[in-house]
Amino acid sequence: MRWEPKQWWAGQDVYIIGGGPSLSDFDWDRLRGSLTIGCNDAFRLGPSVCSVCTFGDLKWFTQHKADLEKFPNPVVTVQPWLYDNGPDWLLVAKRQKHGLHHDGSLGWGGNTGGLALNLALALGALRVFLLGFDMKLSDKGSPNWHDHNLGQPTEASYVRFMFGYNRMVEDLPNVFPGREVINLGMDSALEVFPKANMDDYL
C-alpha cells in the first residue's frame, strides 16, 4: 500500500535496531516499552521489542514474506518494485536514493539502517539512538547478530553504507532541525554521529 510517514512519535526517543554483530549478546528486554524500528530480521524479536519493521531488499522480503505477514506491527519499505506490487498490509513509501527527506518520501542511503534513520525522524522522533550500526564484521567474521544472513558484505559494502550516512548527517540540521542522532555503539566504525554508552540511555 502506498504510504507517507505520519507524526506517530512526535517528540519521542526512538531506538533503531541495526544488524551488527555487537548485538549478539544484547538483552532485548531492555527495549521493551520503548519505541523501536527494527531493521530486517529484528521483527523476529517480537512486537513488544520491534515497534516497526523496515527493510529495503526485495530478495529479503520474498524470503520472509510469510512470517512478516503475521507480524502485527507496521512493516515499512521503500523497495521500488513493491510500490505498486506490494500486499495491502505493507506500507511502501517513495524512495529517494540519498539524504534525508520529510516530503513524504524517505532516503535509502544504500542500506536499511539509513532508511530506518530517515523513517524515525519522519515519524517525529526528537532523539534517535542507533544500536548495532557496526559497519564492520565481528572478530569472528560475522556480519550480523542473527544467523539469517542473505550474503556476506564486503569492504565495498561498508564504504557504500558510510557514504549514505555522510549525506544524511549533512542534511540533518536543515531537514530536521533540532533533532539528535546518537550512536550507542562505542566500537562502531560509523563516526559521523556522536557516540555514547548505551547504559546512559537504556
Task: Give the CATH number, domain containing residue 179.
Answer: 3.90.1480.10
pLDDT in tens, 132-181: 999 886 666 676 666 766 666 666 677 778 889 999 999 999 999 999 99
Q: Report how many domains make up the chain.
A: 1
* Whole-number pLDDT of residue 157: 73
Q: Could you say which residues of the chain have pLDDT below 50?
A: none
pTM (2 d.p.):
0.94
Containing domain of residue 181, as a range? 13-200
**DSSP for the chain, written as a single string:** -B-----TTTT-EEEEE---GGGTT--GGGGTTSEEEEEGGGGGG-TTT-SEEEE--HHHHHHHHHHHTT--S-EEE--TTHHHHS-TTSEEPEEESSS---SSEEE-TTSHHHHHHHHHHHTT-SEEEEES---S--TTS---SSS--SS---HHHHHHHHHHHHHHHHHHHHHSTT-EEEE--TT-S--SS-B--GGGT-
Give domain status of residue 141, yes or no.
yes
Give domain status of residue 2, yes or no.
no
